[in-house]
Amino acid sequence: MQCFVPFFLGLNIFLFCLCLIIYSLSVAGRAEGELYEDEGEGFAYQKGDYLLTHYEAALVSGELAKNGGEVVVRIAKSEGQRQRPKRTLHVRLLVGDTTQVEGECLDGEELRLKVPSAAVINEIVTANHKQETSKLERIQGLLDEAFEDHHPLLGVGAVFVPVDLDQGNMLVRVVPWIRGRMFSLIHKPSGYEWMEGRMEYGGYEDITGVDLQSSANPEDFKVVKRELASMDDQESVWLEGDIGGGLVLARNFVVPKDHQNTVKISSSIQARTVGAGSGGFSRLIQLRVFPMFKIVHPLESLIKYTAIDGTQHEVRAGMEFYETSLTGSARPNGEWTLMDTETDLAVINRFDVNQVDTVHYKWGPGNITLELWSKERPVSKDTPLEINHEYELVDGQNYN
């Protein structure tokens, strides 16, 4: 099990490695955090079979603004009778929006990290910003070329302007970009932002295949069609992307006016053209819904669902080994809920179990993915892969 507090965040625990991230130092140049570990099952922790480690980091030398300095990471104290595993401690100190310092030692030993001066950090951030700007200009050129034969409602010049679907208590923000995605899902009364993403990456997207970096998920995916519609009963945005091999990945975001706290998403992989001699079928393909949600209060967040076999489950961060796949009757019966019990807010994901072969969740540093995977099979013009699902934002008064 793992425990997290502000400034200092435990990232992953593997068999021989512990990775910690220091998100920021306080004004006094300090940060602290705790990591709790036990057997994961049973009640041996009540007899002292646990390990609670209090880590601390402190700027101990140099004036960071002028000359940089040195940050020492050490164990302030430990509690419990459980023996500390022999493992590597890998530490990442974030010292700028795009800059970090890393180091390793044996867990339990003192680690010293050299930190560059503020001037050097600013130079690195500026250089990274120029590189990112150049990349965005290149992407803009690709999109201009892709859309030159189309006449979308928003116009080519608005490619980088997010589309807002704003209804009731929900604000959905979609960017018609390469890999056009939903990057923001906000519960307006509380201001709670559920989606962990930016316009450039993260958030919600559909991909082909299990591996994000697989050859079946090419980096040159381009949005080739986008339409924004506003009708009496709903607002929607439709995106299509050419993923090669005669296949198109399409998704439609809809916020119905009669369900104003819900966004409905229809995702599909469709065969528009297939090669000669294929019998009308594409290569082996899989549709994977990949949403990344923000976890503001890790210790107070949990997943709840009833499985197809009727068993009820409640999963907290650390109760499982970082990531889990559920298949067959162990899958949620068409619904699972991510809750933040600190704020009494939740997001409910409903889906068609006949379209979803596997559900997969993965806890991360301040986030979690709630993934839906289709079966892996070829598709034809008449047999697309489809996953139709929805997210509903609720609060304690409306959640049963």
Domains of the chain (ranges plus CATH)?
8-119 (2.60.40.1180), 152-395 (2.70.98.10)
Amino acid at 147: F
Q: Are 221 and 207 in contact (CB under 8 A)?
A: no
Segments in the chain below pLDDT 70: 1-17, 24, 27, 61-68, 95-99, 118, 121-122, 124-161, 176-180, 199-201, 210-234, 275-278, 318-322, 396-400
Spell out a b/e string for 189-201, using b for 16 or more CB atoms within 10 Å of the CB, else e.
Answer: eeebbbbbbebbe
Contacts for 311 with CB less than 8 Å, ≥ 6 apart: none
pLDDT of residue 144: 52
Q: For 232-357, where are the E strands, in sequence order? A: 234-244, 247-256, 262-271, 287-294, 301-307, 312-316, 323-327, 332-340, 345-351
pLDDT of residue 318: 59
Cα-based angle 227, 228, 232 (whole degrees, multiple of 5): 135
Per the DSSP assignment, residues forming a β-bridge with 323 are 362
**pTM of the predicted model, to two decimals?**
0.59
pLDDT tens per residue across span 327-361: 999 999 999 999 999 889 999 999 999 999 999 99
Q: Are 326 and 377 in contact (CB under 8 A)?
A: no
Question: How far is 393 from 38, CA to CA, in rounded Å?
Answer: 34
State the Rg of the chain over Cα. 23
